[in-house]
């Protein structure tokens, strides 16, 4: 099957960048990204391409090249479905906030709505690709909905999980470690797998394209995220022990990372992992394990989340206890709010939880982040529903200038590892702070020795004295 037209439902952090790269690399395919969110689509279509709704290094250039040629953003979901040979589902699958599985299971209502819409609109055979991370066997539910339309249209379902990390989405998409495609083993299933493989083969060598059955593909995505998150929780667990024993977690990470069986990546101790995937996917894994009564499996993975929550609380606690057990009325400057550098995404960012904790202690938090807007920060805090919107609005001040954020502060907390923080004029920052001036580096980003020479009291994650 030769794919000429693709529709992607969901213009978010996954759908937007993925489709931009497919369009750039496959000028012969028309790619239409649709979303119910009109403001989001309008931003993707903004004449000023730097205003696209997702900040990713290199993305705006790629969108500028392909947009209007073979890449389109639209709110007309029905039309795009109707025209497409292949439909990617890239809608969000947040953790359920109600009913059975509340707080654990993935909420599949958006996926089901998509499947029903595809079923009702389609007049020709289509390949439907699950891009969103989904619980194992979701393809079965999608299949059931699509195959019972009674209008004679045939659907093939593929699982093609996305492994891109935010902040490096463009390079990850251009040069992925692997592409995973799961499909049915019969002839039609394999034909659909081949059609998707042919698209990726436009820029990725075939030996990096893995094909599996549907269920292995769905479970591999959850497994990959669980393993990655587990590495962060493992090094974070060691960071606490390092602080007690006088070891340095960076040295420990380097020493173990040189063991080729362990490898050097994903061993950076931090204030805790965030992002839309790790916590959600592990909770989902725990829920699935419990639903099969695999309680030891569930407990094992749940510990990764418990450790991460502990790390965020511990960081906030350290700030309070170091500042003489009270931060009430004190100004704490936050450098960074995004869950990692080079993104404007704040979902599950450790900064939100640390801010929440400090606001409970009646601190005043002044935030600077190079990419996150004030409205987003307020909405992140309001979502926690710990206090009223009014209290949140008066509890934090958002600054456009890092020097203003740090002025008259008792302490600085580094929450995101933005590169630019390293090259600030730290002498100037020190001069304008309350003394003693503290830095709590939740990302092990700054040069501790240099900071101490300037006069700061400096604390990094996982560095014992």
If one asks whether residue 72 binds ligand UDX (CB under 6 A), the answer comes out as no
Determine contact, residues 139/155, Cβ cutoff 8 Å: no
Q: Name every residue whose Cβ is closer than 8 Å to that of residue 259 and which is 6 or more positions away in sequence.
A: none
CB closer to ligand ADP out of 170 and 365: 170
Least separation in angstroms between CB 222 and ligand UDX = 11
If one asks whether residue 275 binds ligand UDX (CB under 6 A), the answer comes out as yes
**Angstrom distance (rounded) from CA 434 to CA 8:** 52
If one asks whether residue 331 binds ligand UDX (CB under 6 A), the answer comes out as no
Pull the structure tokens for residue 139.
């393809």
- How many of the other CB atoms lie within 10 Å of CB of 316? 26
114 binds, among ligand ADP, ligand UDX, none (CB under 5 to 8 A by kind): ligand ADP
Tokens 């090259």 correspond to what residue? 423
266 binds, among ligand ADP, ligand UDX, none (CB under 5 to 8 A by kind): ligand UDX
If one asks whether residue 119 binds ligand UDX (CB under 6 A), the answer comes out as no
Among 90, 279, 311, 349, binds ligand ADP (CB under 6 A): 90
* Residue (of 320, 219, 311) closest to 272 by Cα position: 311
Stretch that binds ligand UDX, among 39-47, 241-249, 261-269, 299-307 (CB under 6 A): 261-269
If one asks whether residue 270 binds ligand UDX (CB under 6 A), the answer comes out as yes
List 26, 114, 242, 277, catalytic entry: 277
**Angstrom distance (rounded) from CA 350 to CA 336:** 10
Segment 30 to 69, residues that bind ligand ADP, using CB under 6 A: 34-37, 40
**Angstrom distance (rounded) from CA 237 to CA 439:** 21
**Angstrom distance (rounded) from CA 182 to CA 214:** 4
If one asks whether residue 163 binds ligand UDX (CB under 6 A), the answer comes out as yes
**Angstrom distance (rounded) from CA 19 to CA 64:** 13
Among 225, 239, 344, 346, binds ligand UDX (CB under 6 A): 225
Question: Does the active-site annotation cover 162?
Answer: yes
CB closer to ligand ADP out of 160 and 459: 160
If one asks whether residue 92 binds ligand ADP (CB under 6 A), the answer comes out as yes
Determine contact, residues 235/269, Cβ cutoff 8 Å: yes
Among 84, 237, 267, 460, binds ligand UDX (CB under 6 A): 267
CB closer to ligand ADP out of 12 and 167: 12
Segment 143 to 162, residues that bind ligand UDX, using CB under 6 A: 162
Paired sense of beta strands 457-460 and 396-398, if any: unpaired
**Angstrom distance (rounded) from CA 54 to CA 62:** 13
Segment 408 to 447, residues that bind ligand UDX, using CB under 6 A: none
Question: Does the active-site annotation cover 221?
Answer: yes
40 binds, among ligand UDX, ligand ADP, none (CB under 5 to 8 A by kind): ligand ADP
If one asks whether residue 110 binds ligand ADP (CB under 6 A), the answer comes out as yes
Put the strands of the sheet holding 209-213 in their side by side order: 71-74, 30-34, 5-9, 86-89, 126-130, 155-159, 179-183, 209-213
340 binds, among ligand ADP, ligand UDX, none (CB under 5 to 8 A by kind): ligand UDX
Put the strands of the sheet holding 411-414 in their side by side order: 396-398, 364-368, 331-335, 411-414, 438-441, 457-460
User: Distances in Å between the alpha carbon of 111 and those of 93, 130, 131, 165, 252?
Assistant: 7, 9, 11, 22, 43
User: Could you give the count of Cα atoms lying within 13 Å of 164 in the half-sphere of its Cβ?
Assistant: 25
If one asks whether residue 166 binds ligand UDX (CB under 6 A), the answer comes out as yes
Segment 122 to 141, residues that bind ligand ADP, using CB under 6 A: 132
Least separation in angstroms between CB 225 and ligand UDX = 5
Q: Name every residue whose Cβ is closer than 8 Å to that of residue 44 and which is 6 or more positions away in sequence.
A: 11, 16, 33, 52, 53, 63, 73
Among 62, 66, 91, 134, binds ligand ADP (CB under 6 A): 91
**Angstrom distance (rounded) from CA 320 to CA 330:** 10
CB closer to ligand UDX out of 155 and 315: 315
If one asks whether residue 80 binds ligand UDX (CB under 6 A), the answer comes out as no
Nearest 10 degrees: Cα torsion 413, 417, 421, 427: 40
Question: Does the active-site annotation cover 280?
Answer: no
List 7, 8, 130, 162, catalytic entry: 162
Segment 238 to 297, residues that bind ligand ADP, using CB under 6 A: 276
- Residues marked active site are found at 162, 221, 277
Contact residues for ligand UDX (CB under 6 A)?
162-166, 225, 228, 232, 266-268, 270, 273-275, 277-278, 339-340
Residues in contact with ligand ADP by the rule CB under 6 A: 9-15, 34-37, 40, 77, 90-92, 110, 113-114, 132, 276
């Amino acid at each position: 099957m030769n794919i000429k037209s693709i529709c992607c439902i969901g213009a978010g952090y996954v759908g937007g960048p993925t489709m931009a790269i497919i369009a750039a690399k496959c000028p012969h395919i028309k790619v239409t990204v649709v979303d119910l969110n009109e403001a989001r689509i309008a931003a993707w279509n903004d004449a000023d391409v730097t205003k696209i709704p997702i900040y990713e290094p290199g993305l705006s250039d790629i969108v500028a090249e392909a947009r209007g040629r073979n890449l389109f953003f639209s709110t007309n979901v029905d039309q795009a479905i109707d025209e497409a040979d292949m439909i990617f589902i890239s809608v969000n699958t947040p953790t359920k906030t109600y009913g059975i599985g509340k707080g654990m299971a993935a909420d599949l209502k958006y996926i089901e709505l998509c499947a029903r819409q595809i079923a009702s609109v389609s007049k020709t055979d289509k390949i439907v690709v699950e891009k969103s991370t989904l619980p194992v066997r979701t393809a079965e539910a999608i299949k059931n909905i699509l195959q019972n339309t009674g209008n004679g249209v045939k659907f093939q379902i593929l699982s093609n999980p996305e492994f891109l990390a935010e902040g490096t989405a463009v390079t990850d998409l251009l040069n992925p470690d692997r592409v995973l495609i799961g499909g049915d083993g019969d002839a039609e299933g394999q034909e659909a797998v081949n059609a998707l493989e042919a698209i990726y083969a436009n820029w990725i060598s075939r030996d990096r394209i893995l094909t599996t059955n549907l269920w292995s593909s769905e479970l591999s995505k959850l497994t990959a995220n669980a393993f990655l998150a587990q590495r962060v929780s493992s090094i974070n667990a060691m960071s606490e022990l390092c602080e007690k024993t006088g070891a340095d977690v960076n040295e420990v990470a380097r020493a173990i990372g040189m063991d080729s069986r362990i490898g050097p990546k994903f061993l950076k101790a931090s204030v805790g992992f965030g992002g839309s995937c790790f916590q959600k996917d592990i909770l989902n894994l725990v829920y699935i394990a419990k639903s099969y009564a695999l309680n030891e499996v569930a407990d094992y993975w749940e510990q990764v989340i418990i450790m991460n929550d502990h790390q965020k609380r511990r960081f906030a606690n350290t700030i309070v206890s170091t500042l003489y057990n009270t931060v009430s009325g004190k100004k704490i400057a936050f450098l960074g709010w995004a869950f990692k550098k080079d993104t404007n995404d704040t979902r599950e960012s450790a900064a939100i939880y640390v801010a929440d904790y400090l606001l409970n202690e009646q601190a005043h938090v002044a935030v600077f982040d190079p990419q996150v807007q004030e409205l987003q920060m307020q909405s992140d805090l309001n979502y926690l529903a710990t206090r009223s919107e009014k209290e949140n609005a008066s509890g934090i001040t958002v600054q456009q200038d890092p020097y203003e954020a740090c002025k008259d502060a008792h302490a600085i907390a580094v929450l995101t590892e933005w590169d630019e923080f390293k090259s600030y004029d730290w002498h100037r920052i020190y001069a304008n702070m309350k003394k003693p001036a503290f830095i709590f580096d939740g990302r092990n980003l700054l040069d501790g020795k240099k900071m101490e020479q300037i006069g700061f009291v400096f604390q990094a994650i996982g560095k014992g004295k």
